[in-house]
Chains A and B, each alone.
Chain A
């Protein structure tokens, strides 16, 4: 049932995001036109690159995996009314946890045991990295937006120190650990399907994609079907009501931020354990920041986050193809397009709302009058 002046649900969660994305693409097209390229051709290249062939799809889903983890991380904190900007750093440190688990057990344990250990490693390290800003917010009143941003820089510095001075494989130049033994590699989807007789093109897509989807289901259950999720949502909507209900907002801050950091920390499963097979610098590549846009677009709902992650995954992959195909379009143009999508679907998300309200509430009003 809709209240007065409320939009039908399909308009709110379906049509408006579509219009926003369309607007972003139109403006992107104008920019491409301005540098003298054919926007239609560019769009075709992008679409084909992202979704047009097996390897492209594999890459798209591989990027999607990262966005799901970081998007969920932002969403969980957001339900508690917290803006976690630190997904990047939490993913980075979480990767350290995953890497340590792999380095410690890759030659001694079977993969079936390493996977849960690596998940725990990533979640605990990521969660712990978020716990410090959470503590400062809950018990010292330092603003979480400021502290989580700062913790991204600290994470970056810590990782450089560790990889350059401590964990680097002796006798080589680049700051990386040794490669994990193949016993600690997450299976690639193309290998897995190959076992069952389906031949698909090689891509970095690995089973962490399934883990990401499972996390979506778990987050949904946790937020909407447990009393802790209820407490988190109550605090996020109205802290005074939470106190009235006997919910301690300080504990909610700790709980939701640790979960948020843990989810971000799982990015390492995909990047470190799934693809790179070693710990290295800057593997997070901005996924943590894009997670903010993903969560915003996905309305902080796991299902919406999957859709938004697919969109951003396709943009990443299609953008790479664009870069490859056109001499005049560089990687920067891809960043421009992504920026426009974020701008239109995030910051300007409410721009078309008044128009939609006029279009879609008038029939309802007429119906009421009769």
Chain B
């Protein structure tokens, strides 16, 4: 008999021609935190979905405490003591914490007895694990970190002894991440077994006891965290040596290419998303905008790209239009003025998924003379241009006739980047350049951004990955609750100070 809390033995799963899990085996000891790390598409999510009963494995066994068990759906998983905290929370926003926690476990036609019992359990558990939340608070009023605690409580109250967390820190500030790790450590004390799925090496090193690395659907290594280091893990994930640090020379900033003064943006509902922002980007520098997702960075980026009209203030593009509330611009005019934009969400904005790659590769530049002869599009020129871009940016497969949707995330991002960078802009606006992109491609994208900067273009980089901001930027702007709360020179910046700035003001706001 095995003493592992969960053991997966030679799991296989295919989706059509894709072999998502090949003979994957995994053993997690009780009362440990086990990390599962791998690039996008390595098969982590598939494996966890099999464990939680979303998918059935084609072959292979699942053993719980050494006993084979069949998990057909999430009910079986819950019955077997497995709880899952999804990356995107599964909470009813208009319900209270208590109501969310008792959802699916009401225990009878009348709510009151079940509610009382759940409340008692909730209070007890909050105390045991240090998971303090107010049972009567509305979910909609809670910050992200607290919502995640509710998700964890939900799983524990259903009797989970094994907790799977899927990319839990993607939406958290550094401070909230630290808080989560404290909670996970407390749970480990109580012999809860935790499986942490992530692509962030730093988190693996910080919190896990053991780590398994997946690559291309296979389990390539198991390590004790204490006996490995980030370089080795990165190499295992990608299958070759990876440069984790970005090499760059000192920036030599020139004239400002964009100057923003007093920019305020209100959304359709009249809520201020960006408040009185001033900033400038000079030629030959990368300005990073740091902040927790949803603090106005997206709106700022869209306003600078001409997609959103400013409510107040001006945006001045050197040698281009001046954008004010009375004379809003459009993305076409800005492109003509040398402003290129890599949007945060390539699926929603950067590509047209049903289009062939060559059609997506001219999006926004489809009116250019080089792609048209008279009233007709120059199909040969577009094809040649796309083939060329695909070669320069190593897009795989390099097939201009393949549908945009059929490329992997990293290659889709390369198609967008190739289009915007090869337009030789004077200012590149770029949002989440490496979201959902493999480590190998991240290295390539970062090198390209540095090369653009060195060639004299200004770059405004918006990212929720603090590591990325820190390693690329020459200057860092921190946004919180729609305001620019500080500007830090990259030389003086570290994760702690930036993290505090990202969080601090939102706490002040909450108190006010």
A-to-B contact residues, CB < 8 Å: 1, 3-5, 221, 225-227, 230-231, 233-234, 237-238, 240-241, 243-246, 248, 361, 364-365, 368
Inter-subunit contact A226/B332 (CB<8 Å): no
Cα A226 to Cα B377 with chains together (Å): 5
User: Least Cβ distance of A6 to chain B in Å?
Assistant: 8
Residues A234 and B377 in contact in the complex (CB < 8 Å), given A3-B402, A240-B349:
no
When C-beta atoms are compared, the residue in chain A nearest to B348 turns out to be A240
Residues A241 and B348 in contact in the complex (CB < 8 Å), given A1-B401, A226-B376, A226-B377:
yes
- Which B residues touch A365, using CB under 8 A? 14, 16-17
Inter-subunit contact A245/B406 (CB<8 Å): no
Inter-subunit contact B349/A230 (CB<8 Å): no
Cα A227 to Cα B371 with chains together (Å): 9
Cα A68 to Cα B372 with chains together (Å): 29
Inter-subunit contact B350/A241 (CB<8 Å): yes
Inter-subunit contact B16/A5 (CB<8 Å): yes
- Which B residues touch A233, using CB under 8 A? 352, 355
- Which A residues touch B363, using CB under 8 A? 234, 241, 244-245
Output the residue of A3, A225, A230 with the most chain B CB within 10 A: A230
Restricting to B286-342, which residues have a CB under 8 Å from any CB of A?
305-307, 330-333, 335, 341
Cα A197 to Cα B332 with chains together (Å): 59
Cα A234 to Cα B15 with chains together (Å): 30
Closest 3 CB pairs of A and B: A246-B332, A3-B406, A245-B364
User: Least Cβ distance of A370 to chain B in Å?
Assistant: 12
When C-beta atoms are compared, the residue in chain B nearest to A238 turns out to be B352
Inter-subunit contact B403/A238 (CB<8 Å): no
- Judged by a CB distance under 8 angstroms, whether B80 is at the interface is no
Cα A248 to Cα B328 with chains together (Å): 14
Cα A227 to Cα B17 with chains together (Å): 36
The range of chain B's interface size is: 35 or more
Residues A246 and B331 in contact in the complex (CB < 8 Å), given A4-B16, A231-B366:
yes
Cα A245 to Cα B401 with chains together (Å): 20
- Judged by a CB distance under 8 angstroms, whether B191 is at the interface is no
Of B18, B351, B364, B376, which contacts A225 at CB under 8 A? B376
- Which B residues touch A5, using CB under 8 A? 15-17
- Which B residues touch A234, using CB under 8 A? 352, 355, 363, 366
15 contacts between A and B (CB under 8 A): A4-B15, A4-B16, A4-B18, A5-B16, A227-B367, A227-B377, A230-B366, A234-B355, A234-B363, A240-B349, A243-B307, A244-B341, A245-B331, A365-B14, A365-B16
Cα A295 to Cα B335 with chains together (Å): 36
- Which A residues touch B330, using CB under 8 A? 246, 248
User: Least Cβ distance of A311 to chain B in Å?
Assistant: 26
- Which A residues touch B354, using CB under 8 A? 237
Cα A225 to Cα B371 with chains together (Å): 11
Cα A237 to Cα B354 with chains together (Å): 7
Of A1, A237, A248, which contacts B399 at CB under 8 A? A1
Cα A355 to Cα B14 with chains together (Å): 18
- Judged by a CB distance under 8 angstroms, whether B359 is at the interface is yes
Inter-subunit contact B364/A227 (CB<8 Å): no
User: Least Cβ distance of B372 to chain A in Å?
Assistant: 6
Inter-subunit contact B359/A230 (CB<8 Å): yes
When C-beta atoms are compared, the residue in chain B nearest to A246 turns out to be B332
- Which A residues touch B333, using CB under 8 A? 246
Cα A5 to Cα B355 with chains together (Å): 18
Of B353, B362, B364, which contacts A244 at CB under 8 A? B364
- Judged by a CB distance under 8 angstroms, whether B375 is at the interface is yes
Cα A4 to Cα B405 with chains together (Å): 11
When C-beta atoms are compared, the residue in chain A nearest to B351 turns out to be A241
- Judged by a CB distance under 8 angstroms, whether B425 is at the interface is no
When C-beta atoms are compared, the residue in chain B nearest to A3 turns out to be B406
- Judged by a CB distance under 8 angstroms, whether B440 is at the interface is no
Inter-subunit contact B377/A244 (CB<8 Å): no
- Which B residues touch A243, using CB under 8 A? 307, 331
Cα A238 to Cα B364 with chains together (Å): 13
- Which B residues touch A231, using CB under 8 A? 366
Cα A4 to Cα B402 with chains together (Å): 12
- Which B residues touch A4, using CB under 8 A? 15-18, 406
When C-beta atoms are compared, the residue in chain A nearest to B329 turns out to be A246
Cα A96 to Cα B137 with chains together (Å): 65
- Which B residues touch A226, using CB under 8 A? 375-377
Output the residue of A221, A237, A246, A365 with the most chain B CB within 10 A: A246
- Judged by a CB distance under 8 angstroms, whether B343 is at the interface is yes
Residues A361 and B16 in contact in the complex (CB < 8 Å), given A244-B307, A246-B335:
yes
User: Least Cβ distance of B216 to chain A in Å?
Assistant: 14
User: Least Cβ distance of A223 to chain B in Å?
Assistant: 11
Cα A286 to Cα B406 with chains together (Å): 41
User: Least Cβ distance of A244 to chain B in Å?
Assistant: 5
Cα A1 to Cα B14 with chains together (Å): 21
- Which A residues touch B359, using CB under 8 A? 230
User: Least Cβ distance of A308 to chain B in Å?
Assistant: 21
Output the residue of B17, B349, B350 with the most chain A CB within 10 A: B17
- Which B residues touch A246, using CB under 8 A? 306, 330-333, 335, 364, 367
When C-beta atoms are compared, the residue in chain A nearest to B406 turns out to be A3
Inter-subunit contact B364/A1 (CB<8 Å): no
Cα A221 to Cα B376 with chains together (Å): 8
- Judged by a CB distance under 8 angstroms, whether B79 is at the interface is no
Given contacts A226-B377, A234-B366, A365-B17, 11 further A-B contacts (CB under 8 A): A1-B399, A4-B15, A4-B16, A227-B372, A237-B354, A238-B349, A243-B331, A246-B333, A246-B335, A248-B330, A365-B14
- Which B residues touch A245, using CB under 8 A? 331-332, 363-364, 366
User: Least Cβ distance of B366 to chain A in Å?
Assistant: 5
Cα A225 to Cα B380 with chains together (Å): 11
User: Least Cβ distance of A235 to chain B in Å?
Assistant: 10
Restricting to B356-392, which residues have a CB under 8 Å from any CB of A?
359, 362-364, 366-367, 371-372, 375-377, 379
Cα A227 to Cα B349 with chains together (Å): 19
